[in-house]
Homo-oligomer: A and B are copies of this chain.
Amino acid sequence: MNLDNNPPKRARRRSGAVTLQDVAQLAGVAPITVSRALNTPAQVSSDLLRKVQDAVQRTGYVPNRMAGGLASQRSRLIAAVVPSTVMSVFMETIEALNTALMDAGYQLMLGQSNYAPERETRLLEEVIARRPDGIFLIGLLPSGASRTRLLASGIPVVETWDLGTSPMDMLVGFSHADIGRAAADFLIGKGRTRLTMVMADDARAQRRFEAFAATVAQAGLPTVQVINVGSARDVHTGRQALTQLLAQAPDVDAVFCSSDLLALGVLTEARVRSVAVPERLAILGFGDVPLVADLVPALSTVRINGAEIGRLSAEMLIARAEGRNVDQPVVDVGFSIVERDST
């Protein structure tokens, strides 16, 4: 019956890798049976299951998740968009997120915006293009093209490390204004009267500062002096900031820093200048990065349970990816002030 009128087949370069087809052939079953054996083994008789597993072994088959994802509309990928990773306060969160995702069979795709909005926009577009089953964001996504586009994509989103009135979807965070107030109350409670701030140039630190300054003003104390260090967040910058601060406000007796590394710099510079900590100067950090607890003097700081943020976010995103409902889509994990030697 071969009429030899096969249409001219277009040759296409195949990847060369073992496919599910190959496994099926070797096992003597249909491709779909291999698919079931791998994804929902309960649906396959133990006899065929064994045959398939054997064939997988012998061929060294590794599934192609691009093909699987395209067909099933599920990528088993969660994307995270974070401002930075180096020595950052977010690392515990990312690590916890990653661990929880892996344990559930999801992969993490990490994108770094470096606190640059235009980079974030591009990144978010690339992220959506991968069709992740969920997206994890540090911070709140301000309204704008990115937010609109993300909303339109229908992908579950969890915003973190902040608290807002209208999250896009889910949220795991805490209030920066509350922290600013608590920090001011804490230092005032210690009898400090000349409060200052050293802060990096980001929106969340700004909100902590505003609440901090307002609380100080309400207490009838002198206006809060603030050193804005721009985008730098390192120890060196913290040291410079204290120098600048002492010139600007020689009677300063307390500094609230927007990150532990800046606080560590202030602490170091204070030691160099023989400014007694905490006697003459109280120093309060932010983040409770692992190392600051074990230094001498140990740094007092605002502690955020970053790991819990990561874990909860993973849980929520996975639930939504699997079609389950999330009872509490907004969680405030709070914060605490850890008092050590520097205050």
Contacts and interface: CB of A to CB of B under 8 A. Distances in A.
A296 B265 CA distance: 10
Contacts of A296: 268, 271-272
A62 B107 contact: no
Contacts of A87: 87, 91, 289-291
Interface string A269-305: 0011000000000000000011101111000000000
A64 B60 contact: no
Interface stretch (A40-48, A69-77, A316-324): A69-77
A102 interface: yes
21 contacts: A15-B131, A16-B154, A17-B154, A63-B129, A64-B70, A64-B131, A65-B129, A65-B130, A66-B69, A66-B130, A77-B130, A84-B95, A98-B112, A107-B111, A107-B126, A108-B109, A108-B111, A234-B290, A235-B290, A261-B291, A264-B291
Given A65-B129, A95-B112, A110-B109, A15 B85 contact: no
Contacts of A202: none
Interface in A133-188: 149, 152-154
Interface in A80-126: 84-87, 91-92, 94-95, 98-99, 102, 107-112, 114, 119, 123, 125-126
Contacts of A17: 153-154
Interface size class of A (residues with CB under 8 A): 35 or more
Contacts of A290: 86-87, 234-235
Nearest to A261: B291
